[in-house]
Amino acid sequence: MHEYYMRMALSFARRGTGLVSPNPRVGCVIADYGLPEARAVSRGFHGRYGGPHAETEAIRNARGSVRGMTAYVTLEPCCHTGHTPPCCDALISAGIARVVTGMTDPDPRVSGGGTAMLEAAGVKVVSGVLREECERLNRGFIKRVTEGRPWVTIKAAASMDGDIALENGESRWITGPEARGKAHSMRAENDVVLVGIGTVTRDDPELSVRDSEGRSPIKAVVDKDLEIPLGAAVLRGGERVVFTSSGACFARGEKISELSKMGVRVITLRTREGHIPPGEILGELAVMGANYVLVEGGAGLISSFIASGCADEAAFFTAPKLMGNGVRVTKFQISSMDSAVKIKNFRVKAVGADFLMRGDF
């Protein structure tokens, strides 16, 4: 029964996708075992950063008293006062008799403190039900809180022979409308969409979220020499960030003030071997509250993230086309088959006429 209700709580937690960062996605189901047959009487989820937590939503959504009932929560209830008072207090004063959690909250303000607070008040706690699924749902939150960097998905669209553009730069379109629609919804699931300056100058993408609900991710460009045209589509509206080098910062002070006037945040980082290190970019994005980052290209940026161990997940669309001698999706060197980058949890799914290949680094 525990797994059944936890699965239900997970499905509610997912409704917060793309809406709650820097917070985790959390779902709660309250079940009544005091009946001939156990029954879920209420549900809640964390739906907005700064908004109510899953547990208080579930208590509020219950029409009557939840005294003596069991609360299933995908994450250990909080014991601190943040935007809202502690959920543990709410559960205790509502008379919840038992709390079943999916995982410990890695946030140092909680981290076991929630469980201790509930137990001290005489509430029975069962921990770690469907832990793997619960942790998987919040792997970006866990990564940011424990490692100080967000979860990174590398997204690319390539031909069967691995090209993301023709030699002349043309790349519209490699995949069909269904795959492109899916790529748009992936943007909405992430907190930041990151591209290199080459992609901006060649493709002039808007990086917006079309045909999808939810809030728009931050649009970020890695532009070491600050070459971005002020009229670039990516600079039109939304939250925009440009990562540049300290060298460009000195040489192009005027452009930086133009960008600032347009509301673009320019973040200066030190280069290493001529590149802005991906780890530094991720550190900045974590400070901005990002749990999930989608790296969309080009080949240079994708390769530097993979080669520096800053890639967590791959989402590669493959079109049934051959593009010959074009621009390859990656360009790092591998010296032996043993050191080829291996993808774990590999899955393949048809999307329209194309395939989406996904897995973890």
Q: Which stretch binds ligand AOF (CB under 6 A): 32-40, 47-55, 150-158, 305-313?
A: 47-55
Do residues 105 and 76 make contact, with C-beta atoms less than 8 angstroms apart? yes
Residues 105, 135, 223, 354: which binds ligand AOF (CB under 6 A)? Answer: 105
Site membership for ligand AOF, residue 75 (CB under 6 A)? yes
Cβ nearer to ligand AOF, comparing 53 with 182? 53
Cβ nearer to ligand AOF, comparing 29 with 110? 110
Smallest separation (angstroms) from ligand AOF to the CB of 79: 9
Cβ nearer to ligand AOF, comparing 70 with 159? 70
Site membership for ligand AOF, residue 82 (CB under 6 A)? yes
Residue 15: DSSP 8-state: G
Smallest separation (angstroms) from ligand AOF to the CB of 192: 18
Q: What is the DSSP string of 40-83?
A: EEEEEE--STTS--HHHHHHHHSSS--TT-EEEESSPPP-S-SS
Residues 6, 12, 21, 24: which binds ligand AOF (CB under 6 A)? Answer: 24
Site membership for ligand AOF, residue 26 (CB under 6 A)? yes
Do residues 154 and 186 make contact, with C-beta atoms less than 8 angstroms apart? no
What is the Cβ-side half-sphere exposure of residue 251, based on CA atoms within 13 angstroms? Answer: 9
Rounded Cα distance between 303 and 297, Å, is: 9
Q: Write down the residue that tokens 């008040």 correspond to.
A: 121
Do residues 182 and 351 make contact, with C-beta atoms less than 8 angstroms apart? yes
Q: What is the DSSP string of 160-176?
A: TT-EEE-TTS--TTSS-
Site membership for Zn ion, residue 53 (CB under 5 A)? yes
Give the count of residues interacting with Zn ion (CB under 5 A).
3
Q: Which does 158 bind (CB under 5 to 8 A by kind): ligand AOF, Zn ion, none?
A: none
- Sign of the alpha-carbon dihedral angle for 168, 356, 358, 6: positive
Site membership for Zn ion, residue 187 (CB under 5 A)? no
For the record, the structure tokens of 64 come out as 């009557």
Q: Which stretch binds ligand AOF (CB under 6 A): 53-61, 92-100, 268-276, 297-305?
A: 53-61
**Could you give the angle at which helices 2-13 and 54-61 cross, rounded to 10 degrees?**
110
Residues 46, 144, 149, 255: which binds ligand AOF (CB under 6 A)? Answer: 46
Rounded Cα distance between 280 and 269, Å, is: 7
> Which residues have a catalytic role annotated?
55
Site membership for ligand AOF, residue 180 (CB under 6 A)? no
Residues in 85-144 that interact with Zn ion by CB under 5 A: 87
Residues 5, 71, 92, 107: which binds ligand AOF (CB under 6 A)? Answer: 107
Site membership for ligand AOF, residue 297 (CB under 6 A)? no
Q: Is 152 left (phi over 0), alpha (psi -120 to 50) or beta?
A: beta
Cβ nearer to ligand AOF, comparing 114 with 196? 114
Q: Which of these, 105, 60, 122, 13, lies nearest to 114 by C-alpha position?
A: 105
Q: Which residues bind Zn ion (CB under 5 A)?
A: 53, 78, 87
Q: Which residues bind ligand AOF (CB under 6 A)?
A: 23-24, 26, 46, 53-55, 75, 77-78, 82-84, 87, 105, 107, 110
